[in-house]
Structure 1
């Protein structure tokens, strides 16, 4: 009887210990949470959504972002920002068939051959009845932009979405436009540098990135660096304030049309992407990113939802550091 009682007590203790261990294991994190630096400190007109930035020869920065006829803020030091107007204050009058023609989205600005090129999107939220337009300027200032109308479009009967445009110029001087949101992912077309529009000689629409359904990928931006083309994208969901789940991912290829793979070799067309920035602290849902090559290095330009300001969209700026094997990391 005594031996049996002792064995039962020992068995009970062992079972209890195993249960406690199982509970600890079940609730333990798989790996330490990623840590990211906070955005650089800026002031003034810091609201922005889907930002794109250019630095002129005079040293003035122009920031373009979603809203109205594409809103513009300026700075002389990339720290203090002033709202100065809109690129197309009357909207895209050519695009009245699209519900968003007075509220333009996701601008992309770049400078080539003495001209500033501004691509933008026209759509209504959740629809792929969308279009990409083009405006140009010789100064980038409000009031100086000439609209050149339609570049590319998508219809509700199709499987792609013509928004979030971004221009890339490859090592051979060829122009490429990436775009896309949800549906069948990120696409790319070739452009004619003389017109900024698609040439008749190549009307191919390339597929360069896609995620499994519901395919929450958008905001593509292709940046050449060190012999590669880096595809930055935003995974998951924007536009939900403090409930936003955007995060910035990257893959790379040796050709602008792909194939792109992430740091683990997973294809971008199979959902691959290496995360370089996600929610941390008051920085919620960072995304809508572009990259500016500035005098002090490569700067990641993005928006995030500020948890200290009720989820207001804010401009985020951080430098990129490039590792020995060529992959970017977000730094202060």
Structure 2
């Protein structure tokens, strides 16, 4: 990998977040990391784009670890910058960036705040918002994200492997904590899996009047996946599609808790993607997008940011496109197509951490689409989840959902899905895609097979 950031594009973007400035540009902020590069800019990387596809390196915010955060944590760089347009009484443009300063494996960490009148900067440090000590605190001050409740009050979601994910109310005037407390616990994992959880983000859905928590499980090196839970209040409790409380996973349910909407996968002829995670959500008009980082299966030290469309099924659950966003106009077909037919599909079983290879399936559905999203019930015909259990390389059989036999009895798996358009990078054309949730709360995602 070259030391010249102008050649990176979306490569070397880790823990990304995307916002749109008043100048019409999209801004991506990310951890100041670069795989295989010995000397790279410090201080939260900034990229810009006009189309959410091609990204240009803009420089860094702050340019260094602010003095107070560095003295507290000993950090050499900044992690997981969260950038948000901050509401102001007079409507003037104000932006907040919440950055993390820490070192791997330590709870001695700090979340700081910087402000600017534009995401392009210049950014001015405002000091530490919350700090933790490894030998004092059972939670960890990293990976901040900001959400607003129904009344418009700001909250900060943060936390990691150490102690889980917490949420604390902020001052609308200053952006700092209203009270000197860690806040409410909204998600955690048991010690049997090293408490492996981080990178949380909350999106309010007025359509269902509830809050959606996105969070990453497992290791950012190879097994990351994005999980989801929903709650009626911003402080929880958050439950997955199977009804599991994200704060109370047992050792037996450690891998299965959390509705897995995106994990490692590969479609025929395509690049294998592993460890997608640490996502954030942003919108453009009525369109919802997810930005996350991911690694390449054949070059796992390399990481890059990808953007995907997020759609919402009839029950208001988020489902994610199997293909990265390729730009405006790439999601519409030249003519409507029947949804029924041959598809390549992956099943994101929450208990499976390995890369999932797509398999050819037949879908039955009474619907047509030219790429415009259609919420529809579809039947993945003649299969059960047993077929999608990956082959073991260790002699240990991966578990499958409890009702695999019932799937076979009723002739397939029924999904509450959304069918939509996407750009197939292998076929080099627009295709129909789907993502949906089965009765066991497991997400399936697929791309219609290209036959000509």
Q: How far 1:316 sits from its partner (Å)?
A: 1.2
Summarize deviations over 1:170-222 as a string: whole Å, max 9, x none. 1101111010011221011110010000114x746110001111110010111
Which whole-Å CA distance do the structure 1 matches of 2:299 and 2:103 have between them? 26
Q: Which residue of 2 aligns with 1:269?
A: 247
Q: Which residue of 2 aligns with 1:71?
A: 45
Q: Which residue of 1 aligns with 2:27?
A: 62
Given candidates 224, 228, 241, the residue that maps to 2:210 is 228
**80 and 155 in structure 1: CA distance in 2 versus 1, 3 angstrom threshold:** same
Which whole-Å CA distance do the structure 1 matches of 2:291 and 2:265 have between them? 17
**296 and 283 in structure 1: CA distance in 2 versus 1, 3 angstrom threshold:** farther
What are the within-5 Å matches in structure 2 for residues 76-155 of structure 1?
76-113=50-87, 114-142=93-121, 144-155=122-133
Given candidates 200, 219, 223, the residue that maps to 2:199 is 219
Which whole-Å CA distance do the structure 1 matches of 2:159 and 2:197 have between them? 8
**204 and 218 in structure 1: CA distance in 2 versus 1, 3 angstrom threshold:** closer
TM-score for the superposition, normalised by structure 2: 0.61
* Structure 1: 5+ residue stretches without partners: 1-42
| SS of equivalent residue, structure 2 residue 68 | helix
Q: Which residue of 2 aligns with 1:289?
A: 279
TM-score for the superposition, normalised by structure 1: 0.82
* Structure 2: 5+ residue stretches without partners: 1-7, 33-41, 88-92, 250-256, 267-271, 324-452
Summarize deviations over 1:29-83 as a string: whole Å, max 9, x none. xxxxxxxxxxxxxx83433100011012332011000012101011111111111
Q: Which has the greater radius of gyration?
A: 1
Which whole-Å CA distance do the structure 1 matches of 2:161 and 2:12 have between them? 25
Q: Mean alpha-carbon deviation: is it higher for 82-91 or for 308-317?
A: 308-317
Contact 2:64–2:77, Cα closer than 8 Å, also in 1: no
Structure with the higher fraction of residues in helix conformation: 1
| SS of equivalent residue, structure 2 residue 126 | strand
Which whole-Å CA distance do the structure 2 matches of 1:177 and 1:247 have between them? 22
| SS of equivalent residue, structure 1 residue 44 | coil
Which whole-Å CA distance do the structure 1 matches of 2:293 and 2:28 have between them? 12
Which whole-Å CA distance do the structure 1 matches of 2:86 and 2:107 have between them? 30
Q: Which residue of 2 aligns with 1:303?
A: 293
**99 and 153 in structure 1: CA distance in 2 versus 1, 3 angstrom threshold:** closer
Q: Which residue of 1 aligns with 2:223?
A: 245
Which whole-Å CA distance do the structure 1 matches of 2:300 and 2:188 have between them? 32
Q: How far 1:307 sits from its partner (Å)?
A: 2.3
| RMSD after superposition | 1.6
Which whole-Å CA distance do the structure 2 matches of 1:95 and 1:194 have between them? 22
Q: Which residue of 1 aligns with 2:410?
A: none
Runs of 4+ that moved beyond 3 A: 98-102, 308-311
Q: Which residue of 2 aligns with 1:30?
A: none
Q: Which residue of 1 aligns with 2:38?
A: none
Contact 1:130–1:154, Cα closer than 8 Å, also in 2: yes
| SS of equivalent residue, structure 2 residue 14 | coil
Highest RCO, 1 vs 2 (Cα 8 Å, sep ≥ 6): 1
Which whole-Å CA distance do the structure 1 matches of 2:114 and 2:104 have between them? 22
Contact 2:274–2:297, Cα closer than 8 Å, also in 1: yes
| SS of equivalent residue, structure 2 residue 127 | strand
Q: Which residue of 2 aligns with 1:279?
A: 264
Q: How far 1:296 sits from its partner (Å)?
A: 5.7
Which whole-Å CA distance do the structure 2 matches of 1:235 and 1:149 have between them? 30
